[in-house]
Structures are given as C-alpha cells and as structure tokens.
Amino acid sequence: MSLDRSQAPRSKPPVDDFRFPDFRYQRIDDGLDLYSARWGRSPLVALELLLPGGGECDPSDRPGLASFAASLLDEGTERRSGQEIALTIERLGGSLGSGADWNSASVSSLCLAEHLETALDLVADVGLEPSYPDAAVERERGRRLAELRRRRSLPSQQADRLLQATLYAGTTYDHPLIGSEEGLRESDPATLRRFYADQMSGPITLIAVGDVDEQRLSDLVIPRLAARRTTTRFEPTPVEPPADERRVLIIDRPVGTQTELRIGHVGVPYSYPDRAALVVLTCLLGGKFTSRINLNLRERHGYTYGARAAFSTRRGPGPFVVSTAVETPSAGAAAREVFSELERIRDEAVSPEELADTVSYLLGVFPYTLQTADGIGSRLAQIAIHGLAHDHYQRWPKRLGAVTVEDLLRVANHALHPDQAVLVAVGPAADLEPQFAEFGRVGVSL
C-alpha cells in the first residue's frame, strides 16, 4: 500500500486558540509602572528597566550621546564599581547590560529566580544612580571610537550611514545610534551626568517575565524603585525631514566583489494608524522569505543571497529601507527590479490569496516569537514605550485578520514613495555609475 503524496496535507482544526499570555500591570506611582507575567518552564526571570533618553534625545552637536550615556549605566554607581556589578551578577549565573535604541534607554538582566532580589538591587542601582566614573567614561569612549573605525571598513555600515545622513539631514535621525567621532569626543563625564539628569531621570517602567511570584515581585520592587523619579516627561522634538527627489549616491569601494545596495526614503512613525495593514504590506513586499522582493532578486534572478524591506519602529518617522548585497555586474538590474516591485504594489491590488498567505504567516509566527521570557518582555516593552492599549497583543491577531486588499493598496500609496527614494551603493564606482544613470542624479564619494 503506498501513500498518496500528491497533495499537501490539509490543515486539521487548531488545537486551541492562541492568546497572548495574561500579564499584570500596576501603576506604582507617577514615576513607576510595573508589568509582570509568569512564563516558561525554567527557573529564570528576565528583567527590563525602561528609562527615557533614547537616541531621539541626542543633541544636534553631540550625536551618539544617548547611546553613550545608556551604555555607561552599568559601568559604575555611587555604591558599586562596574566590575563589582558584573562580578555580583555573573557569579550567580546571571547577566546584566544597558543600552539605548532610538525610543528609550534600558537596563536588562536575566537571572535564576532564586537570585531575583540581588538582580533587582543591581538593576535599580544601575538605573537610578549611575555615577559616570572618569576612567569608565574614557574606556568606553575609546571602545566606541575604535568601533566607529571598525565600521568604516564594513560596506553595509557605510551604506546605512550614508542613507541616514542623506534622508535625515539636520534632524535627530541623521546619524547611527553610536554617533560620530566629534560627538563622542565632546562628551565628558559632566556632559553625561547632565544628559542623565535632563533626559533620563523621568518616569520608568520595570518589566519582569518568567518564574516570578507577582506579590513577591511588588514587595521587592517598591522599596527599590518607587517614589524615586521626577514625573516630568521630556518630549523630544519630532523629526520632520523634507521629501527628496530620487537620486543615487555611490561610495567608491574598488576592491569588493559585491555591491551593498540600499533604496530608502522617510517612512512613517510607529503610531501609524493603519499599522496592521502596514505590517502585512511590509511582510508581503520584503519581510518574509517568500516576499516579492526576495523571491524576485534571489530565487528568480540569483542576484543575491537575500533581500529585504522594512519600516523601522521609531516614535518619529524612521526610514523605510530595502537592503541587499548583489553581485556588482547585476547591481543596476537588481535596483530596477526593486523599483518595479515598489511601483507594482502601489499600482495593482494584491490577490486575495497572497494577502491570506501573508496574514496566515504573521498569525503563525506570532506565538513563535513568544517562546522565551524575553520574547514576552519585549512585547510588554512595546506596550509601555508606545503607549499601546493593554489588550493590544490580545487583539492583534484579529486586527491582522481584518486587513483587506484595499487597505494594502491605500497604505502602499500612502507610505511608499519610490519617486522620492534615495539609492545608496557601496562598490566599484566605475562599474556602478553607468548602471545607475537611469535612476536619477548620480553622486560619487570616495
């Protein structure tokens, strides 16, 4: 008896409806919110303390200051040196780190549940009383300057940097989070302490997910973090970059065998009202392996190992970028395919099947991203940072399911602007220039 393999097995009914796990939210006081959820089968707890002061707060004369200040949180406090902090948590098998993205600064820690109290002591100390010791500032500055130097040799970083600088000239998104040499050199311990006081001392949020007892958690958190913060929120000025004409910028890198390609324009803020449709659109266009852009450039033409498109999730209108690395002789052809995909999705409605496949994909991978405590924690962080409704993730599957073909067409025309896109290429300029002439004014830098 042989098995009929000719058809894909049909779906059985789902075992159960997946729901985002229940979590607990408490406003402890005007300066402190607490989110917690029990999750997982291991005796671990993931902690994240969110503070104001993300990259969006960088002063224009000191790009990189926010990231610099956040990364130094765990390098010394009034009570402990950076080494004591690291030693205390690492001896217990845990970890602790700090940093910033565009929207916020954060301190995160992972520990065994039995060591929760120690981890909270450290997270609170690091988050509330950083001292910016001179030696630590110098060391971290040196590390960052060297990192900037390392990135100068990475074609992908060169491409990202030039695209951001071009799209966001004169605004707070015009640089990478790490900033610039000048910005780092201008930031001494006094500047860092002032930035902390002015930008990072506003209200905070603690998120704890894993093997936590919620009562015990509140008992430990309140004496350490409550009534310690100013309630003033510092609102950064929103980014409003001008629209651009389509143009091409090449960074000449004669040695490589491949060309890094970016095609991007100013995108939309996280709060975009049609967010569910935008997420479906981006996934279909360049988010999943079977997206239009990846199938076109990789599977149909073999130009690249991979290509993707994404809107960044920032409070202000972050960039929309298509990224890929292609064999140099096909760079022009690859760019033409990208532009044609961007035009096509604005001109023609997608088929109901393609929409259904994409929604189904997003619904399925949603629980996949929630397997670990920090996976749940990062969703709770989104709720806190963007002020989402507390049932946002419970309702999210339903919102994805309600997106229509018309929604996608409307959002594609509203949020995608291929006519204003800037194309950045890092590769041998002599080979690239003639290939890109059709896309707009070409500028070359060395």
d(CA 391, CA 388): 8
Residue from 64, 76, 155, 316 binding another protein (CB under 8 A): 155
Amino acid at site 100: A
Quote the DSSP letter at residue 77. Answer: B
Q: Contact with another protein (CB under 8 A): which of 27, 143, 185, 441?
A: 143
Site for another protein in 279-308 (CB under 8 A): 288-290, 295, 298-299, 302-305
In residues, how long is the chain?
446
Q: What distance separates the 2 farthest-apart alpha carbons in the chain?
A: 80
Lookup result for tokens 């070359």? 444
Nearest residue (CB) to another protein, 33 versus 211: 211
Find the helix packing angle between 405-415 and 352-368, rounded to 10°: 80
Task: Give the containing element (helix H, strand E) for 33.
Answer: strand 32-38
Among 25, 103, 112, 431, contact with another protein (rule: CB under 8 A): 112
Q: Does 191 participate in binding another protein (rule CB under 8 A)?
A: no
What is the footprint of another protein within residues 47-76 (CB under 8 A)?
A: none
- Site for another protein (CB under 8 A): which residue of 233, 273, 368, 389? 368
C-beta closer to another protein: residue 82 or 318: 82
Q: Which of 367, 387, 434, 443 binds another protein (CB under 8 A)?
A: 367
> Least Å distance between CB 275 and another protein?
19
Coil/strand/helix, residue 160: helix
Q: Is 405 in the site for another protein (CB under 8 A)?
A: no
Judged by CB under 8 A, does residue 329 bind another protein? no
Minimum distance from CB of 192 to another protein (Å)?
18
Among the listed residues 29, 118, 133, 145, the single contact to another protein using CB under 8 A: 145
* Beta-strand relationship, 44-51 and 204-210: antiparallel
CB of 205 to another protein, least distance (A): 23
CA dihedral (339, 342, 343, 348) positive or negative: positive
Distance between CA atoms of residues 44 and 57, nearest Å: 33
Q: Is 395 one of the binding residues for another protein (CB under 8 A)?
A: no
Q: Does 362 bind another protein (CB under 8 A)?
A: yes
Among 111, 220, 268, 412, binds another protein (CB under 8 A): 111
Is the Cβ of residue 172 or residue 282 nearer to another protein in the bound state? 282
Q: How far is the C-alpha of 184 from the C-alpha of 94, rounded, in Å?
A: 30
In the stretch 13-52, what mask flags binding to another protein with x, by CB under 8 A? xxxx-x---------------------xxxxx--------
The residue (of 223 and 364) whose beta carbon lies closer to another protein is 364
Residue 257 has phi, psi (to 5 degrees) of: -100, 0
Contact 119, 93 (CB under 8 A): no
d(CA 107, CA 49): 5
